[in-house]
Structure 1
């Protein structure tokens, strides 16, 4: 008996230790990834330095141009053509997004910086052309003085705009580093908290309780054996034996119910882990699509737009080129849509109400179906897990209403206050019969993801109800206990 208890306890211990080890390894891997990303952000300092150097080079070239035009000797031994070449190359590389120095540095630019480079480009070209004119030995004195006048007139504007670009680079770099540091702290705290909760609230109680159940089952079996022996020895002890049998049966029922409850709890924990893993994987895919494929497609679009100024030998070539540009734009839009569906940024930034409203608008545009959002304006945010769970339920319900119910009008109602939290999705589709138990209907329900919605509601400790009649639409309601962030 003791040997059986020890075997079961050791087996459960190995299982949970393996689970804890896997969680720890994944957490450390995530932390190392964030550390490496933060290290990459340090390269932004080099970009800021080069952008700042452009201001110094501009002033130095202006000084040398002035001295050269006026014929004044200077102790500055720097090569005017070399400085001009360095200034021009640095500007071009900053504008194109790649610095080539001791190694290649990627210049991460926002749309605002792109616009600032577009605004400064005419000023740069004006100063650069004038500097080239001054450096030209065959230029006349009048031409050089005209070029110098152009430089002196354009330089203040260039310095002011370049100064704004430098500060914008520095601001965006600081914001990225600050954001990643916050993610690192949240990830570290969440991982440690998960490990502590699993160790103290799951591992030890489950092992102890399982040992007790096994011991009690073994004792019950032994009691039954003794009762059977007593029955064989004397019929006089029949009444006592029967009472013991009844007691034993009650103990077995209680043990079976306890075992079923444990299995149900384990299933809930497993389902929660799977859903959490799915959301994390969606979040990672959305990040990779947006930061990887999205950026590459944007770069491809910019490169394609630069080719528009090139003349084509035949009109049909120009038409095919325009069609290619439209296809690139469609791919970019599809990529953004896919990234948003995986993990909408508006959900984390503005909360569930804004995310549901955006989902309704987006679904209406893409499907042509009337989707109405009704919600209360409440600044109290729910926890991230609750918000993403409710958002996925709304997504699934909308998808079912469009693809399976063939609805023409869908209403999303979101109510959140200090006393209640209710999400309702109602459509005017063809509906279905909840009483049907046929295989075909069960397949339809599985396809529509009803079980997935029920699982998510159960994980949120909420209640999900589905009301539907054939040709009279469907109404999905999720009601949660009082939950605030």
Structure 2
């Protein structure tokens, strides 16, 4: 047998085996990258699904909050304003009755004046709840300061407020969300946390603003927070989402709560 022929056959076999090996390796790599990419895409889809579901929950919370607010305002208008105006109308009708004594006339007039005054006062309260006049006229700083004073005087708690930020007046619509977040946090501290001291501080955070909120209430297990979100917290999250900000909670049982949100 010709040695040259044998050597050429061996070379051909080596080339064939090498080519076959690289073909198999290429197929394995293609399959590996295909399934890896598929797995990555699947995780991205799952992540998007979770984000979409979270957005749905936030939207639902916004709608539920709006409906609850509308129901409360409608109830206030019906039970308070409307009922008082009905009595005013009745008293006004009585004034047209003949043969009324001077005492009866004075009593009816006094009723009309008293009820009208109460109706005006309550209508101002409803308007204040919708958009606080101080917030609209003087901005977020003045609005939060007034809110803290209201809680300190009416709720028998101590609320400390410090502001190191200059807020732009043109951002009033966005600042209304910040105001409502503070309002919700104060209410939660009072109702659920049984807190007697709360502190609010606005500080610069690069191009953003950071709000630091603390209380001395009973606190909660923040590890279980994700499974125990009520309408109030969902409402806060929906407002943070609107502001394109971020929100963090830290708390332990009997150690109060620390909240940071950036907007």
TM range (shorter): 0.5 to 0.7
Structure 1 459/271 Cα, relative in aligned 2: closer, same or farther at 3 Å?
farther
Residues 310 and 404 from structure 1, CA distance in 2 versus in 1: closer, same or farther, beyond 3 angstroms?
farther
Name the count of aligned residue pairs. Answer: 234
2:188 & 2:170 partners in 1: Cα distance? 25
The residue number in structure 2 matching 1:381 is 169
Tell me how far 1:356 sits from its aligned partner: 1.5
Instruction: Indicate whether 1:478 and 2:261 are aligned.
Output: yes
The DSSP-based 3-state class of the residue aligned with 2:219 is coil
What does the per-residue CA deviation read over 1:292-329, in whole Å, with 9 as the maximum and x for residues that have no partner?
Answer: 9886567457668878x9636xxxxx8xx98x997887
Q: 2:244 aligns with which of 461, 474, 478?
A: 461
Cα distance in 1 for partners of 2:242, 2:149 equals: 28
Report if the CA contact (8 A) 1:285-1:339 is conserved: no
1:285, 1:342 within 8 Å by CA — same for their partners in 2? no
TM-score by length of 2: 0.63
| Residue equivalent to 1:449 | 232
CA distance in 1 between partners of 2:262 and 2:65 (Å): 22
Q: Which structure 2 residues correspond to residues 238-317 of structure 1 after superposition, within 5 A?
A: 239-263=25-49, 266-267=52-53, 270=56, 296=82, 299=85, 311=103
* Greater per-residue helix proportion: 1
Mark the runs of 5 or more structure 2 residues left unpaired by the alignment.
1-19, 96-100
Deviations 1:322-345 (A, max 9, x none): 8x9978876765554444334434
Give the conservation status (yes or no) of the 8 Å contact 2:58–2:234. Answer: no
Q: Within 1, Cα distance between the matches of 2:66 and 2:262?
A: 25
**Shift of residue 405 of structure 1?**
0.9
Per-residue CA shift, 1:202-231, capped at 9, x if unaligned? xxxxxxxxxxxxxxxxxxxxxxxxxxxxxx
Cα distance, 1:459 vs structure 2 = 3.7
Output one character per residue of 1:361-406: Cα deviation in whole Å (capped at 9) or x when no partner: 2333432222233324735236355323222221221111001111
Answer whether contact 1:294 1:335 (CA < 8 A) is retained.
Answer: no
Which moves more between the two structures, 330-339 or 345-354?
330-339
Change (3 A) 1:375 1:295: same
Which gives a bigger RCO, structure 1 or 2 (Cα 8 Å, sep 6+)?
2
Change (3 A) 1:356 1:311: same
CA contact (8 A) 2:203 2:209 kept: yes
Q: 1:461 Cα shift?
A: 2.4
In 2, Cα distance between the equivalents of 1:274 and 1:388? 20
1:290 & 1:433 partners in 2: Cα distance? 36
1:391 corresponds, among 168, 179, 184, to: 179
Query: 1:424–1:478: 8 Å Cα contact kept in structure 2?
Result: yes
Deviations 1:112-139 (A, max 9, x none): xxxxxxxxxxxxxxxxxxxxxxxxxxxx
Change (3 A) 1:450 1:295: closer
Corresponding residue number in structure 2 for 1:38: none
**Residues of 1 paired with 2:126 and 2:43: CA distance?**
45
3-state SS of 2:253 partner: coil
Counting only pairs closer than 5 Å after superposition, residues 59-208 of structure 1 correspond to structure 2 as none
Question: 1:450 and 1:283, CA in 2 relative to 1: closer, same or farther beyond 3 A?
Answer: closer
- Equivalent residue for 2:189, pick from 376, 386, 401: 401
Match of 1:168 in 2: none
> Of residues 211, 222, 230 in structure 2, which corresponds to 1:434?
222
Q: CA RMSD in A?
A: 4.7
TM-score if structure 1 supplies the norm length?
0.38
Over 6 Å off, 4+ runs: 234-237, 278-295, 304-307, 324-332
- 8 Å CA contact retained: 2:65, 2:231: no
SS at match of 1:406: coil
The unaligned stretches of length 5 or more in structure 1 are 1-233, 313-317, 481-485
- Tell me, in whole angstroms, the C-alpha distance in 1 between the residues paired with 2:76 and 2:166: 30
Is contact 1:467-1:476 (8 Å) kept? yes
